[in-house]
Chain A
Amino acid sequence: MRVGSTVLLKEQLCVQSYGWNMMRPLGSLQGVLDSLEEYQCDEVAIIRPVRKNDTLSLFGQDLQILRKIKTMTPISFGGGIRTIEQLKLLKGLPIERVIFSSAFLEKKNELVTLAKDLFGHQAIKCLLPIGYHDGTVCVYHSSEEKYLPLSSVDTQFIDELANEVILFDMFHEGSRDQFDWSILSEIPFATDKLIISGGVGTSTLRIARQKKVASVLIDNKVLHQEYSIFGYKHA
């Protein structure tokens, strides 16, 4: 099982988020990646936590930061890749894998298939911000700023096109060891295709190993004690 970290990139700077909502600054992306690489973090998912009001201009500004990074750690990138025009801007970036969320929820077949041709099927990840909302497991549809019941999501479409699925527990993000494992009982994907994130701690890691998930992405609270990534890897 891989042990990595999520890194939220908002307006060209890294931020720490609590509950997918409150944010505080963490510094430059290069500094954050250097810190994680120093302690052999297995992978980093750089996510732009954007909603409905994202624009091509804001997307482009964040890409300028991404284009400059120098890292030897595997990088996935996503957040706001909603059009073919945006996808083409990823050409040459130092990333291996691409993360889609709204594009999967809206079944943008042409966009995801083009990404598969450009990056390979092994590079396609689906991010599902997920959690219980009004007693039902819901997925947050970022580009429309609304919750969708998981039952209304075409999970077969996701299963066919995504190599791995990130389950991002949005209500426990930033907390310690509160990842809601009960969500998994509602998830139709194979466990070895799942990446767990949001509310991860050492106990979460032990359970994740027992369940044989593909990877665990520790919330970027790890950056206040980046050396702890080593401890997480051996939890």
Chain B
Amino acid sequence: MSVDILDVGSGNIQSIKNWIEKANISTRVLNKASDIKSTLLILPGVGSAGSYMKRLKLGRFDEAIFEHVDKGGRILGICLGFQIMSAYSEEDGGVEGLNFIDGYVERLQGNASHNSWEPIYVRRDELEGQSFNRQMNLSKKRILDGRVFYNHEYGFVNKEENSFSIPVSDALPKYSGLLVKDKIIGMQFHPEKSQITGLELVSMIL
């Protein structure tokens, strides 16, 4: 198991590193696209979609991410890193995403801001149709039942039929909070800042 964390110039990289290393897995923080060599690539994400995609393209990270996926590597996108895996985000006047997942990102209904802890419940057997699941070997844990921290203004509307998705919350059922499709996993919440549940989750997905 090797984990690379992509550093495109913003984001709480140190928190992601700390989170993964709590599971006794070493990480590398990369700021050069050609350095990606891991089995799991993490796209952390804070900032706005427009400037994030601009930085991805400037550093040719987008091409390297496609190459990583073509070679069978797994990807974990967190928050904005999850959103840019869609086809399109309406943030910053409209931004084209990486289009790994059929879906789009829109401003939360009612122009709301969602800064909150929400309950999460995931049964591992529900992920069996996704190849991501076959590489989850670190823990035999089968059920995740806890709470996770959200801080976002845009939400991911999933259109992918053959994917596993759970909504952000009862109040925001339109948007995916956790989405797994093949070798790609996206989290709208911040697992690295979700305390005990974040720790349980990292041992489930690695």
A residues sitting closer than 8 Å to B (CB atoms) are: 2, 37, 40, 42, 67, 70-75, 91-97, 116-123, 163-164, 193, 214-215
Contact = CB atoms under 8 A, between A and B. Distances in A.
B192 interface: yes
Interface stretch (B132-140, B147-155, B168-176): B147-155
B46 A92 contact: no
Contacts of B9: 91, 118
Given A2-B117, A70-B18, A163-B113, A117 B193 contact: no
23 contacts: A42-B117, A73-B195, A92-B7, A92-B13, A93-B12, A93-B14, A94-B15, A94-B18, A95-B12, A96-B46, A96-B193, A116-B48, A117-B47, A118-B9, A118-B47, A119-B10, A120-B46, A120-B48, A120-B152, A121-B153, A123-B46, A163-B113, A163-B115
A235 to B, nearest CB: 17
Q: Which of A67, A93, A118 has the most CB of B within 10 A?
A: A118
Contacts of B184: none
B10 A164 contact: no
Contacts of A93: 12, 14
Interface of B: 7, 9-15, 18-19, 22, 46-48, 50-51, 80, 113, 115-117, 149, 151-153, 190, 192-196, 198-199
Nearest to A195: B115
A121 B151 contact: no
Contact of B151 (A37, A40, A71, A97): A97
Nearest to B11: A92
Contacts of B192: 72
Contacts of B47: 117-120
Contacts of B151: 74, 96-97, 122-123
A37 B152 CA distance: 22
Nearest to A42: B117
B79 to A, nearest CB: 8
Contact of B153 (A40, A92, A96, A163): A163
